[in-house]
Amino acid sequence: MDAIEVIRAKRDHGELTTAQIDWVISAYTRGEVADEQMSALAMAILLNGMNRREIADWTQAMIRSGERMDWSMLDRPTADKHSTGGVGDKITLPLAPLVAACGAYVPQLSGRGLGHTGGTLDKLESIPGWRASLSNDEMLDVLRRAGAVVCAAGSGLAPADKKLYALRDVTGTVESIPLIASSIMSKKIAEGTGALVLDVKVGSGAFMKTEETARELAETMVALGTDAGVRTVALLTAMDRPLGRAVGNALEVAESVEVLAGGGPSDVVELTVRLAREMLEAAGISGKDPAEALADGSAMDVWRRMIAAQGGDPDALLPRAAETMTVEAAESGVLTRLDAYAVGLAAWRLGAGRARKEDPVSAGAGVALHAKPGDLVRAGQPLMTLHADDTGRFARALEALEGAYTVGPSTAPQLPLVIERVTP
């Protein structure tokens, strides 16, 4: 085979054979297919799509490019969750220990933020001493000691996806649903979990802006998981406004600890409990309800063991930004709209996010929200506080927030927190 033959087949609206897909992924991983050729193929896939069999073959080929983890030696079922990313989405932090407290092992491989969306590993690294990089043996040790582990994927897991993801990021092919679905699911299937719940975000702060595209992505990923023997379900959830009241790394860790202590914003608590119930059901575990595990402190106990097992100090003070600025309401009324993308962009400009994967992030930077859509506000009342390590960042953050919120006489419609459940 040769790359040009494969590119032409998809360019001309053809269906790639299993053999073509296996060859092109393997050859690209070995360096025998050039980046320019894979870029052309990715663009052809973006424009012309793939059917279910092609996407499944593409996903399996990326899994076979590396190792596949195995947790069969554990004495309880495993369950995991993946979010497509959003603004203030710190759900993994309370969710992993909560599900572990209810009887499942949770091997969670997470990523870093890019652009306006936050990364779970960046948030956890604001805890002094906490380590994201673990070997497979270390992952197993943390799982046995704590019941849950959240860490970075090793270099041996779906290396074809790592190479292709970096290429898609610079060639305008990130938005392809077949490529998004296969990228996410190749890592999650290779991770070896027995059950998987997908949190597919919808709205301005998400990659999927409409329910239609989010549903298509969810259905594609659920099919991939099901075909691979992983019990998979997806929820479409709202990302038209930020999740919770904290956007930023250490700010979100602090809010997650509030949830584990039995408090925290109602939307974060609601979604955490709902996802926990879905994970436990998919894993075939019944008994303790997640709401009970938050109330009785058992989820907090798992959190403390998990953080300590990865070198972190659960009692340490979290980093704080050196400078703050308050944004006040210009008039009285109801906060009818708070655009998630604009808040995420502001947090990014304050230092909480990165433009490139190698960029550093500020642990203390971000946005603390004092009002959410539906809340009554008065003129002069603080709407949000901006946190940054230097005052020079505030001007551009304020630019991002221009027109991002509206105060009116009455409430406005917004997406329900959980929009839809997608099953095989």
**Catalytically annotated residues:** 82, 161, 168, 183, 187
Q: Which residues contact 71 (CB under 8 A, 6 or more apart)?
A: 78, 105, 107, 140, 143, 192, 193, 194
* 3 state DSSP class of 292: helix
Other CB atoms within 10 Å distance of the CB of residue 213: 17
Structure tokens at 346: 């502001």
Distance CA 6, CA 269 (A): 48
Structure tokens at 138: 């270390």
Q: Which of 249, 251, 279 is CA-nearest to residue 264?
A: 251
Say if CB 111 and CB 154 are below 8 A apart.
no
Residue 159 burial by Cβ neighbours in a 10 Å radius (0-12, 13-18, 19+): middle
How, if at all, do strands 418-422 and 231-238 pair?
antiparallel
Q: Which helix (H) or strand (E) holds 346?
A: helix 340-347
In what order do the strands lie in the sheet containing 405-408?
376-377, 333-338, 405-408
Length of the chain: 424
Q: Which helix (H) or strand (E) holds 275?
A: helix 266-282
Structure tokens at 41: 């193929």
